[in-house]
Amino acid sequence: MSEQLAFRPATELAELLRRKEVSSAELTRHYIDRIERHDGALNAVVVRRFEQALEEAQVADAALARGESLGALHGVPLTIKESYVMAGTPATWGIEAQRDNVADADGLVVSRFRAAGAHFLGKTNVPVDLADVQSYNPIYGTTNNPWNVERTPGGSSGGSAAAAAAGFSALEAGSDIGGSIRTPAHFCGVFGHKPTWGIVPMSGHEIVPHVPDPDLSVCGPLARSAEDLAVALDIMAGPTEREATGWQLALPEPGFKSLADLRVAVWPTDDIAPVSAETQARVRMVADTLARLGATVSDTARPDFDVRNAHLVYQNLLTAVMSSGQPAAQIERIRQRVEKLDPEDQSADAVAARASVMSHRDWIRHDFRRERLRRAWDAFFRDWDVLICPQFAVPAIPHDHAPFAERSTIVDGEARPYMESIFWSGVVIASYLPSTALPTGPSSEGLPIGVQVVGAPYRDRKTIECARLIAQEIGGFTPPPALAG
């Protein structure tokens, strides 16, 4: 079986299965073989259920032989982020104390993929508590980037992006609260979609069952084509059973026929989070391509808000979510530290410490500020269809497991704060906007560079379609050279 089959989009594989040009069992064995041959160097697929996957593939083949009605991904083998709930597998989030947290039933997103006919080869690696732009933890170890094992694949959906890029499965699903789908997609050269907040239920992406959907966080797909993102989003999105009593999701169609129809704003860099010259050039290359094709393009149009205040709102809201599970003793230690802070200290550490112990009244004030940001974006997207911007300052960064305060990101020779690039994720997340990351080709070092296509709330189909058409012009996913043969 050709190695290139492993890199075909999931939608193409589903069509091959329907035409009986390949069987689900053959395709599943092919992916298992690739994982067994190549994943020793990457450590992406850290929970494996190969025997069950082969049994499920045989069931899929039998259903096809009987001519039964098929789902969109019938017989297609997937992997999924470790943090999703799947029967018989652990959902530890990389936390040592959760090592034995094995699910007895599938969560909602897993169930929806199964209803579409897919089955799962296993689960992919994450950082501790999904809280890093690298993917390593004491349970499963470190995941490496398939383009260069000395680099990280990103986080927190780093294993997901690495598996998709390496041709270990047909499709992946991750989650995103700080760029956790889009940064790994950028680092590994694949497509990723952060949906509008609230359209994909978070039920089944949890350690403790039956918790409310957290603010900011979303579940979404990673893939080797934008077409696959669209199909996966259709499968994942929609109300829970309880919510379906009162509402159904009806995302609007893209609303344009060609890239020439689009009004495109371009934001190549910003003083609050400078990106490398090569990354800026890649954003401008996409913009130039759109302009050449007839799109209206502006590199000066911006939403009407102060970017530093916008980022401060995101930092506070993010920390409120991430600190919500901290034990009382830890919160008390942070509270004592906050009492000693200089009121003028607005460093990222100081902001995070204050946000960890802020009152509900303070959170509501930040939510009011968020609403003003959302209204500014509403006004912006009345004039512009999409925004093109970076996802991260540089391509995939080297592994660095030092304490956060001791890490940095090197941007054109200058050491910048490690988490500074989260601005490019947060400015989208805080206002619940959809964003599609797409690859634009390798850097001078041979590492992928991606960009974001950002749209108005619920315009998910527009950003995905825009990414699809851009990829047609500039080239989409290409396999990492070491894994292509």
The total of structural domains in the chain comes to 2
Residue 346: pLDDT band (50, 70, 90) is confident
What share of the chain in percent tops pLDDT 70? 100
* Confidence (pLDDT) at 3: 86
Residue 142: pLDDT band (50, 70, 90) is very high
Q: Active-site residue numbers?
A: 81, 156, 180
Q: Are 217 and 202 in contact (CB under 8 A)?
A: yes
**Count of beta carbons in the 10 Å neighbourhood of residue 145:** 32
Among residues 341, 368, 395, the one where a domain terminates is: 368
The answer on 330 and 227 residing in a single domain is no
The answer on 232 and 348 residing in a single domain is no
Mean pLDDT of 33-38: 98
Q: Are strands 141-142 and 119-124 parallel, antiparallel or unpaired?
A: unpaired
Residue 342 lies in a domain: yes
Mean pLDDT of 66-77: 95
Q: What is the CATH number of the domain that holds 43?
A: 3.90.1300.10
Q: What residues have CB less than 8 Å from 142, skipping those under 6 apart?
A: 43, 134, 135, 136, 399, 401
* Confidence (pLDDT) at 325: 85
Residue in this structure with the two tokens 């073989």, named with its chain if needed: 33
* Confidence (pLDDT) at 445: 98
CB-based burial, 75-88: b 16+ in 10 Å, e otherwise: bbbbbbbbbbbbee
Mean pLDDT of 250-276: 99
The answer on 132 and 41 residing in a single domain is yes
* Helix 460-474 × helix 226-236 angle, to 10°: 160
The answer on 319 and 243 residing in a single domain is no
* Confidence (pLDDT) at 438: 99
* Confidence (pLDDT) at 261: 99
Q: What is the mean pLDDT of the chain?
A: 98
Residue 483 lies in a domain: no
The answer on 321 and 239 residing in a single domain is no
* Confidence (pLDDT) at 210: 87
Q: Is 446 left (phi over 0), alpha (psi -120 to 50) or beta?
A: left
Residue 370 to residue 351: CA distance in whole angstroms: 16
Among 303, 285, 265, smallest CA distance to 427 is for 303
Residue 182 lies in a domain: yes
Residue 218 lies in a domain: yes
What does the pLDDT look like over 100-119, one tens digit per residue? 999 999 999 999 999 999 99
Among residues 223, 258, 293, the one where a domain terminates is: 258
Residue 471 lies in a domain: no
Residue 263 lies in a domain: no
The answer on 317 and 251 residing in a single domain is no
Among 77, 123, 80, 108, smallest CA distance to 200 is for 108
The answer on 112 and 22 residing in a single domain is yes
Residue 266 to residue 299: CA distance in whole angstroms: 5
pLDDT greater than 90 at residue 334:
yes
Mean pLDDT of 115-125: 99
Among residues 368, 390, 421, the one where a domain terminates is: 368
What does the pLDDT look like over 158-207, one tens digit per residue? 999 999 999 999 999 999 999 999 999 999 999 999 999 999 999 999 99
The answer on 177 and 83 residing in a single domain is yes
The answer on 231 and 103 residing in a single domain is yes
Mean pLDDT of 445-467: 99
Residue 434 to residue 431: CA distance in whole angstroms: 9
Q: What is the dihedral of CA 260, 222, 163, 106, to 10 degrees?
A: -160
Distances (CA, A) of 382 to 332, 373, 423, 432: 45, 14, 23, 17
Q: Are 42 and 144 in contact (CB under 8 A)?
A: yes
pLDDT greater than 90 at residue 400:
yes
The answer on 319 and 185 residing in a single domain is no
Q: Are 389 and 452 in contact (CB under 8 A)?
A: yes
Domain that holds residue 340: 307-368
pLDDT greater than 80 at residue 485:
no
The answer on 179 and 75 residing in a single domain is yes
* Confidence (pLDDT) at 440: 99
The answer on 174 and 67 residing in a single domain is yes
Residue 270 to residue 427: CA distance in whole angstroms: 12
Residue 107 lies in a domain: yes
Mean pLDDT of 31-52: 99
Task: Give the bridge partners for 386, in sequence order.
Answer: 264
Residue 20 lies in a domain: yes
* Confidence (pLDDT) at 149: 99
